[in-house]
């Protein structure tokens, strides 16, 4: 995996965690509504109530969330390790803000004191090249 793939994977897993969390909220709401409409609650029949179906989805999502968070933590440790080895502060800063903190280009531009995003794109490109060089040298 090259440096850009590593950093993009961190962002992709961050997005997956947000998606799982959104689905979890949906199933909690569904279970709450279904439980309020019926006094049957969760039962063990083959077909299951809406509450039971929502509860089963929540269990599956919890398992998926646990695995995804474990992958995210591993990727972040790897990315932070690579970032920490970069010589230039600006390189460390742009990569951390973008891939670890999940900031937009506009937010990064403001945080780094640039007037436009073009400057951030240049620093970002240089930072990726420097990170790749570190990976290639290992």
Express each pLDDT in 4-53 by its tens digit: 999 999 999 999 999 998 888 887 887 777 656 544 444 445 556 777 87
Nearest to 106 by CA among 117, 96, 114: 117
Q: Structure pTM? A: 0.78
DSSP the chain: --HHHHHHHHHHHHHHHHHHHHHHHHHHHHHHHHHHH-S--S---SS--HHHHHHHHHHHHHHHHHHHHHHHHHHHHHHHHHHHT-S-HHHHHHHIIIIIS---HHHHHHHHT-SSHHHHHHHHHHHHHHHHHHHHH-
Domain residue spans in the chain?
1-84, 87-138
Does 87-138 carry CATH code 1.10.10? yes
Q: Is the pLDDT of residue 89 over 70?
A: yes
For residue 39, what pLDDT is reported?
A: 47
Which burial class, exposed, middle or buried, applies to 64 when counting CB atoms under 10 A from its CB (0-12, 13-18, 19+)? middle
Assess contact for 128 and 3: CB atoms under 8 A: yes
């Amino acid at each position: 995996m090259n440096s850009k793939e590593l950093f993009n994977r961190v962002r992709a897993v961050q997005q997956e965690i947000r998606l799982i969390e959104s689905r979890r909220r949906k199933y909690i709401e569904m279970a709450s509504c279904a439980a309020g409409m019926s006094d049957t609650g969760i039962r063990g029949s083959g077909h299951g109530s809406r509450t039971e179906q929502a509860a089963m989805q929540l269990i599956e999502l919890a398992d998926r969330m646990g695995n995804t968070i474990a992958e995210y933590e591993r990727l972040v440790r790897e990315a932070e390790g690579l970032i920490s080895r970069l010589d230039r502060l600006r390189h460390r800063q742009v990569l951390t803000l973008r891939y670890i903190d999940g900031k937009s280009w506009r937010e990064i531009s403001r945080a780094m004191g640039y007037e436009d995003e073009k400057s951030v794109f240049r620093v970002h490109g240089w930072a990726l090249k420097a990170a790749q060089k570190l990976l290639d040298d290992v």
